Structure 1
């Protein structure tokens, strides 16, 4: 009779295996464990062989002694080698006798090799037991140790005989397949392990069939789903290997697989992010091309007009036309730059609204006037319907005018000549609802969800006759959201027109009455005749601005450097001083500080004019004593609004 000890069977395993009593003594160790531990270890305390805290080791032994399912933990040998440990009880405790726990220091591929090697040993045992029945008890113990080993593996394991029928399943395989070992034993493995392709949902050949036929290790391709007994599908990866006897003959196959749902989710996320990056890169390139196109066009027109203006004895009508071209193209370029800067500021959270009580009907009227030129240029018919008694809203009137102006300009741009544009406004229980609708080119269904994204345009043709950078609608949406409102778009498709709807929350309570009084006061001040000082070292700029102010009915004096401006303002004591920042002698900041130091000028409104428009530049101007900050080129409408107020207000200009 041949009796195999624990060491004889466990020595075939490639990883260290220990039998340890729950009081901490090593009962037995396989050959690999003795090698890892540097010699004999039986009878030694496990605590002496590890550099872990005693409480850590005791906790691992206690957890492993409770159930026959694998318990995971870690151990660090004295030489600093760290292992992931899978432990399970082999013999429960009895009176006066501690439990015996089997600890496996698992390597990634150790489970599969151990299973194959142990099956060879078991085949050898089967032959010996046939001849020597007295070894049956030992064989039963060896089978139990084998089962504990396979149960402790974190992956799912299914073993088959040479005919492809299931002979073993561990608990992880039971969980993933929905079959218990008792139900699956003796059934064809194809019935228990049913795999399909993730995309096509077509069945995939079971790898154990190829293993039994070819005798080689086989793995499934990616995108494999395991369909459980109840119909649930789980992404897996797997591999199968043959089980051979001592003579090398195939006697079965082992299938090892694991669930990879989390890994597949990460892969899909990575794929989506890659697609987003590719799209962002494509849009960036398209935007750069659009920007170059949009800047070259007005520059070409300005260059041609400047040549015409400099020609001697030119016809006055041609000069007037050329001047109008320059003005129009400069405004266009300024609007492009402003839109880009606004989008950047909003994206970075750096834009600040000049919040006040706003009459939406007045804002809409001003927006119509601002957009009248592109509407008339397209020979469109504008239908305006603004309900009376619209509730007041709280916000930045200039920014709201920018919102509705952009929507009207957008409608004019994408509506064929002679089209119709409808602007309507009404109140509801939540606030104000404004609609801008046209019968123009419409929006394709695939583009509709993206119309409010930056740099998105429907027209990507070579000629790009409609122009623009694709930031207008993105700016509209973000400005409306800053006001606590919402913006939506609807279109029946290409050629069916489009409608943009803006919803703004109404101002509640006492704020509405206060706003009405403020609007009455501002309206009364619009007719005031003001004394205005204009200071700019660019003579043309200063003189042209002075001419415009005089046409508006104001008294104007002009200076071209900081020292002259200081004397001029002291002498004339203007109501408003428009100061360039980059002045010779005394710059605009220092000039403002000196003027604020004189009591006789404390009622003078100081307006800074600069080519720098970042929030830090605006704040520096306010800190120096300015009441408002305007960007070059100065927009006449913005300056008129400030002059209409007629007194300092302590905020930045629209």
Structure 2
């Protein structure tokens, strides 16, 4: 083994290193310590060199004197520089003489290691090695000092002779390579230190080979994996430098390396997240472009229809067609917004299901009626196979109808005119299986794994005409999963059609019969006194016209204070209130109405463009009985009005 003194090893270290007796006297210091402390410090008191409390320094020295493994602590020098300290005993106390400990000082703002500085000073180390031949007792002491120094270094160190055989290893090197120092000594370093390229898995040239051959310093290698004796692998950074004699001849090499598994894992995670962000940003941009496209189309149709309605020579047939266009396009826009809100609610865990026993066949037939207009517009032939005896499921009938409707709409949109769509339902043990199959454009294999992701579509070109925001299938998947089911997709490829399958847990026996008759149709409505409050004059007046045509007495107001006076004067049975009102908003208007005993029987219906759960809760807290999203479906209002007449007042 190569024998060296404290100065030979300590002077090559980039951090200040001190040998200090437990009485505080500095026994020795390396070059870095003398440089940072302003000159020779041997013989000085460590207590005088530090600005820390004396008792704190004494306690640190005592702790270091107890063990030969590194003990951690901190010191603040008189100049105010704060250091992290690693200390261990190098000579225990004996015959009344104080123990001597080695303190390695690492500045808190400094790098954890400085291998370049270590490599630059290795020549000095080599010159000192050959000059040291001392008595046996002195050699044993130097050997122990060297061992403690290497133990205190957090990096792995292997030294070789000129033939590349291992002559020295520290414990960190033993841990990383799987070799003990005794087993490795005398073996070729390439046998002990085996490394491969992380990407190619090809063996790399051992750094010490080139160091011994050319006498050069090898810098840090990239993407290197150390293969341990037992087969374990550790990503590392490594460097090597030659050891020279007094004449400059290379007589050995020193290899320094460290494990960087945690850093490499963080790098890979950062790379993956960056890639995910790039994909998410691309999808976001595509989504915004699609959203603009999808909103401009119905707006263009609505604008054209309103122009036709304002034509001086208005044709009743053309006017009816224009009105139908406006209604259809507004419904399309509302559906787009509802889909987006539903996906957001589910993603945030804010959607709840109205659990009931659901007849799947009935839900499928209702979905067919909802989607029929789109199917007929594409001149598709719909084939139904709704086997009798399909078991019911527990869930939200409205949401399940939404699932099936989205799948039918998807098939209709992506099937060329004159195609075929098959809708089937069957029972399989404890499941109900619903299938929607088409002869449409199909799905490329590379898109299949992501077809249920938000904002994913097969055709992203600007001339796309089938429409949609890429949220329908994502909504289907998440709603089905909320029902405890699953959904899948299969396609033979582009132009080969596609099949979507929904599996739902079925109910049997008493559980299936428990919900029979839960959904009853609302009774027909009667004449009511209605107050309509909205600062949008067109919206308020059009709603008033519709309600009057249904046979109700309607009064209109356009701000909160005007509305308060109106309802106190007319005492309506129902008040349809916009939330964003001038004067006082809809929430405050509702609170004031609830405090008036004369209005206690009035049913309050909130109408808002905000439909998150927090908005609905805020409406309930203000005293509203119901909360509807804009644009309001006339059928939804009729249903609520029917409940008012059947109960004889507000259903609170």
In the superposition, the TM-score normalised over structure 2's length comes to 0.82
Displacement of 1:285 in angstroms is: 1.0
Counting only pairs closer than 5 Å after superposition, residues 38-187 of structure 1 correspond to structure 2 as 46-52=46-52, 57=57, 60-61=60-61, 64-65=64-65, 68-94=68-94, 96-105=96-105, 108-109=113-114, 112=119, 116-125=123-132, 129=133, 138=138, 141-187=141-187
1:411·1:421 contact (CA, 8 Å) conserved in 2?
no
Cα 1:635/1:157, change in 2 over 3 Å? same
1:392·1:512 contact (CA, 8 Å) conserved in 2?
no
More displaced stretch, 410-419 vs 497-506? 497-506
Cα 1:209/1:603, change in 2 over 3 Å? same
Cα 1:579/1:163, change in 2 over 3 Å? closer
Q: Which residue of 2 aligns with 1:630?
A: 628
Q: Which residue of 1 aligns with 2:551?
A: 555
Displacement of 1:237 in angstroms is: 0.8
Q: Which residue of 2 aligns with 1:203?
A: 203
Cα 1:649/1:564, change in 2 over 3 Å? closer
Q: Does 1:422 align with 2:429?
A: no
Distance in structure 2 (CA, Å) of the matches to 1:238 and 1:266? 19
Cα 1:591/1:12, change in 2 over 3 Å? closer
Q: Which residue of 2 aligns with 1:300?
A: 300
Q: Which residue of 1 aligns with 2:463?
A: 463
Distance in structure 1 (CA, Å) of the matches to 2:9 and 2:612? 77
1:236·1:259 contact (CA, 8 Å) conserved in 2?
yes
1:159·1:252 contact (CA, 8 Å) conserved in 2?
yes
Displacement of 1:634 in angstroms is: 1.6
Cα 1:640/1:415, change in 2 over 3 Å? farther
Cα 1:6/1:542, change in 2 over 3 Å? closer
2:309·2:322 contact (CA, 8 Å) conserved in 1?
yes
Q: Which residue of 2 aligns with 1:609?
A: 607
Displacement of 1:164 in angstroms is: 2.4
Q: Which residue of 1 aligns with 2:279?
A: 279
Cα 1:581/1:386, change in 2 over 3 Å? farther
1:391·1:427 contact (CA, 8 Å) conserved in 2?
no
Counting only pairs closer than 5 Å after superposition, residues 346-495 of structure 1 correspond to structure 2 as 346-348=346-348, 351=350, 353=352, 355=354, 357=356, 359-361=358-360, 363-378=363-378, 379-383=380-384, 385=386, 388=389, 390-391=391-392, 393=394, 395=396, 397-416=397-416, 417-424=418-425, 433=432, 435-439=434-438, 440-480=440-480, 483=482, 485-494=484-493, 495=496
Give 1:535's match in structure 2, choosing from 532, 537, 543.
532
Partner SS, residue 406 of structure 1: helix
1:628·1:650 contact (CA, 8 Å) conserved in 2?
no
More displaced stretch, 209-218 vs 613-622? 613-622
2:544·2:555 contact (CA, 8 Å) conserved in 1?
no
For residues 46-93 of structure 1, the C-alpha deviation after alignment (integer angstroms, 9 at most, x for no partner) is 445434456654565455445545444443323332334343433344
Counting only pairs closer than 5 Å after superposition, residues 184-333 of structure 1 correspond to structure 2 as 184-313=184-313, 315-333=315-333
1:559·1:565 contact (CA, 8 Å) conserved in 2?
no
More displaced stretch, 267-276 vs 220-229? 220-229
Distance in structure 2 (CA, Å) of the matches to 1:584 and 1:152? 74
Cα 1:441/1:55, change in 2 over 3 Å? farther
Displacement of 1:267 in angstroms is: 0.5
Q: Does 1:497 align with 2:504?
A: no
For residues 617-647 of structure 1, the C-alpha deviation after alignment (integer angstroms, 9 at most, x for no partner) is 5455445543212233222343344344335
The gaps in structure 1 that reach 5 residues or longer are none
1:380·1:412 contact (CA, 8 Å) conserved in 2?
no
Cα 1:55/1:360, change in 2 over 3 Å? farther
Distance in structure 2 (CA, Å) of the matches to 1:458 and 1:632? 31
- RMSD of aligned alpha carbons: 4.1
Distance in structure 1 (CA, Å) of the matches to 2:150 and 2:454? 57
Distance in structure 2 (CA, Å) of the matches to 1:597 and 1:28? 87
Displacement of 1:194 in angstroms is: 1.7
Displacement of 1:486 in angstroms is: 4.2
Partner SS, residue 475 of structure 1: helix
Displacement of 1:227 in angstroms is: 1.4
Partner SS, residue 371 of structure 1: helix
Partner SS, residue 289 of structure 2: helix
Distance in structure 1 (CA, Å) of the matches to 2:22 and 2:131? 32
Displacement of 1:137 in angstroms is: 5.7
Cα 1:98/1:389, change in 2 over 3 Å? same
More displaced stretch, 448-457 vs 615-624? 615-624
Partner SS, residue 318 of structure 1: helix
1:534·1:556 contact (CA, 8 Å) conserved in 2?
no
In the superposition, the TM-score normalised over structure 1's length comes to 0.82
Cα 1:607/1:35, change in 2 over 3 Å? closer
More displaced stretch, 557-566 vs 96-105? 557-566
Partner SS, residue 558 of structure 1: strand
Partner SS, residue 560 of structure 1: strand
Displacement of 1:25 in angstroms is: 4.6
Displacement of 1:527 in angstroms is: 3.7
Displacement of 1:409 in angstroms is: 1.8
Partner SS, residue 273 of structure 1: helix
How many residue pairs get aligned? The number is 630
Distance in structure 2 (CA, Å) of the matches to 1:505 and 1:606? 38
